Amino acid sequence: MKNIIFIGDVALDEYYKAEYFPQIKEKVGVETLPAQTGGMIANAAAVYASYTDGVEFCGVLNSGAVSKMLCEDLNASNVGTRFVMTDNRLADSKVIIILAEDEHTVFIPNINVTEIPLTDEAYYALLQADWVSSNIHEIKFLKYKEKDAHAIIKEMKANGCQFAFDLDVADFRPGEREFIKYIDYIFVNEIGFENLNKELDDEMGIHSLFASGAKLLVKTLAENGVEIIQAGKTIAISGHTVDVVDVTGAGDTFCSTFVYMLSKTDDYQLAGEFANYAAARSVMGLGARYGAAGIKEVLQFIKEQGGDTEKFALQIDNGA
């Protein structure tokens, strides 16, 4: 894989822990935990960068102290930020995460992004990208002079770029559904799979994705593993039992690791198994970036789980 660019969000995750999640109008005391750097796409970029060099992040932030810290943290994770645009009309990028009842509930404030205004350098870098990892909520804001996101993406695809999108719960907003046709590799969780099926029901559900050019649909099932769906074939991969500290970023870790493995193998099962191990390991520590551990740590975790490390190590060492 020559060039991969992650397009999307980076944020400061403010953590709070509660004994239980409150009902509407109820008050509950919470414990303030250390804030962590996060953001779905930035997390994925950091995970990928822990495996290899040459990772770039593209997005838009204000020029304040929080933004500076977020970019410095990405740089420290070996993620380039030269394609982060500045818009001082935006609020600080923060997320509120409540840990309660062995789950996490996430509140994402709208910082009022209306466009990601690409510089000449960023635009031409995108045209040369081999892969882009993003989601529809973010990539729709791309703008270069008179060109909107659709025009830019079409140019990129004409140049051979492949797109891996994490649709998460697939909560499409007005105008977002039409971006589905550009995606080569689609990732959703259980809720997202149901929502996607409903959204596409008038076109024979998920089967229409493959007719429009999608290569793969990956459904993550948390502790129950993952299903890798192709046209006419499904690969089921079992989950792993671990001590859960924080599930934030597990999906980001899985998606990014899977995309990384696609640069090493065309064996979807092998890629899914390795990514599944990486995601399971990622929930054992606090913060979405706990998954950005690197190959050696994931292989060590696989060994501790009684898995076959040799088949992964051999492919990673000898992969393209």
- Assign 312 a pLDDT band (cuts: 50, 70, 90): very high
- List, in sequence order, every residue forming a beta bridge with 303; answer none if it has no partner: none
b/e for 216-244, b at 16 or more Cβ within 10 A?
bbbbbbbeebbbbbeeeeebebeebebee
What torsion, rounded to 10 degrees, do the Cα atoms 38, 40, 41, 42 define?
10
The count of other CB atoms within 10 Å of the CB of residue 110 is: 7
pLDDT confidence of residue 319: 66
Question: Which of 25-29, 104-108, 203-207 is predicted with the least confidence, judged by mean pLDDT?
Answer: 203-207
Task: Give dist(CA 136, CA 29) in Å, integer.
Answer: 35
pLDDT confidence of residue 202: 53
Summarize pLDDT for 49-88 with one digit per residue, the tens: 999 988 999 999 999 999 999 999 999 999 999 999 999 9
Q: Which two tokens stand for residue 117?
A: 């205004």
pLDDT confidence of residue 315: 86
pLDDT confidence of residue 227: 96
Summarize pLDDT for 151-196 with one digit per residue, the tens: 999 999 999 999 999 999 999 999 999 999 999 999 999 999 999 8
Task: Give dist(CA 134, CA 42) in Å, integer.
Answer: 10
The mean pLDDT of 307-319, rounded to a whole number, is 87
Please state, rounded to an integer, the average pLDDT across all residues of the chain: 93
- Assign 211 a pLDDT band (cuts: 50, 70, 90): confident
Report CA-CA distances (Å) from 228 to 93, 142, 216, 231, 315.
33, 29, 7, 10, 19
Task: Give CA angle at 177 (173, 183), nearest 5°.
Answer: 125
Task: Give dist(CA 35, CA 101) in Å, integer.
Answer: 20
- pLDDT of 206 above 90: no
From the list 317, 315, 306, the residue with the least C-alpha distance to 238 is 306
pLDDT confidence of residue 317: 82
From the list 120, 126, 196, the residue with the least C-alpha distance to 155 is 126
Task: Give dist(CA 261, CA 245) in Å, integer.
Answer: 26
The residue count of the chain comes to: 320
Domains of the chain in sequence order? 4-19+31-318 (3.40.1190.20)
Summarize pLDDT for 271-283 with one digit per residue, the tens: 999 999 999 999 9
Q: What is the DSSP string of 69-85?
A: HHHHHHHHTTEEEEEEE
pLDDT confidence of residue 18: 96
Sign (positive or negative) of CA dihedral 80, 85, 89, 95: negative
pLDDT confidence of residue 208: 84
- Assign 34 a pLDDT band (cuts: 50, 70, 90): very high
The mean pLDDT of 291-320, rounded to a whole number, is 91
pLDDT confidence of residue 320: 54
- Assign 309 a pLDDT band (cuts: 50, 70, 90): very high
Instruction: Work out the percent of the chain whose per-residue pLDDT is above 70.
Output: 97
